[in-house]
Structure 1
Amino acid sequence: MKPNAFKADIDDSDLLEKSMSEIASAIADPSRVSILCALMDGRAWTATELSSVANIAASTASAHLAKLLNSQLITCLSQGRHRYYRLAGVDIATLLETLMGVSMKTQKGCVTKTPVHLRKARTCYDHLAGEVAVAMYEFMDKEGWFLPEGGALSPIGMAKFQEIGVEIIPHTKRKSVCTCLDWSERRFHLGGSTGAALLVTFDQKGWIARTAGYREVTFTDAGIKALGRLFRLSLK
């Protein structure tokens, strides 16, 4: 290896380590964690809304948002006089969900303290999470809706999703089917573009109701019937 190439490798390594430490620093604050968790519902929030959920002053929230923006963990959208903040992408949501799972594991004798309504059903950025989502994934996996090697729907799964009315967008850069570790249930739920499309369909059909400003999801009467018919699930 040429000396200059070796130096380039060292420089790249130093740059990666510096970037990782900057991201870790951006997350390492309870108020910023509260902001990031609020944005996990996949929607855009104003600074005022985020300051309220983090229980901090508006000026303090602005400083925290600036750090999150500089670390490219969030993005800012301007619409008229208002500015809205949201997560920078699904990769950031996945990072946060993974961090939640790791954090739960480090607690000795951990008993989940996740509120019951959030544990039952919530959004994980752009797909469903929680007890119901985990049960749905386990049913789909058992019934052969996914290819054995993973990553995509099987012919059975494609037919079932068409029956539900889910519009699958082919040839996207995002992985079609991927497992996402549910931090409250410690089991997998469905992520990827297929998981996102499923949430959109549930929303459009009126099977779920969202609580404004929160990740909580509740199932309507029609949604409860659909869960029983399509996934053999009974909500108690």
Structure 2
Amino acid sequence: MNKQSKNPETALQKRAQNFVSEHVYRNVSAIVAVLHTNANARKAFDLDADEVRGLVEHRDFGVAVLAHLETDIDVDELHALLSADALEFDTAAPQKELAALFFEYLKSNEEIEEFADEHGIDPERTEVNEQLVVSDYLAARLEEKGEVVEHDFLGLTVWGRCEGGQMVHMDKVIRDIVRETSLAIVDPNMVGTDLRRLRAEIVRGKTEGKTDADLLDVARTEFDRILGAEGEELAQD
């Protein structure tokens, strides 16, 4: 067995380091700090305060809106909201389930922040520790996970990193992305053997009549093993 696969944590850390080296380019925290505190500097770059504030403070309307729907209003008000938007729902369903239904509707229509403004809901706020220029690929993956990303900040794609006190490759969000990236960053010396093993497992599963869901679990297990991820930290859908 490859030595790397015997030490899952070391393997994952190495891949995370390589991933960060490839996709994180430069720290621009000093520039953002000046623009945040100096109105003349913002004017020189034709920026307004809100554009900069979005990179120094993470405002999460989603968490606040969902909490409002689950606990701050009664179920009759929630029924009224669902009915107003012609959504089908079971009036006997628990409030938490109905809240999730309406929240997904708001999310799919990109109306969460608008709903928060209309109902006086303040977002949850988290201080951004540093601002990093990143690749478009990493930016897209970070956005999927709710991270602060600005795609055109002085022509740069910038990640507002909220975690701190450790190297970037140790951030949970980075490690999760690395796991999910799977074979795209796997050690090329391992690919041939591992893919043959995975194909054999899938062929055997089909012969045994396993469902597509079962086969997907087989693939996910193999990918996690290849990445050397620890069992309790395996990425979940």
Larger RCO of the pair (alpha carbons < 8 Å, separation 6+): 2
Normalised to the residue count of structure 2, the TM-score between the two structures is 0.26
Instruction: Looking at secondary structure, tell me which structure has more helix per residue.
Output: 2
Q: Under a length normalisation based on structure 1, what TM-score does the superposition of the two structures give?
A: 0.27
- Greater Cα radius of gyration, structure 1 or 2: 2
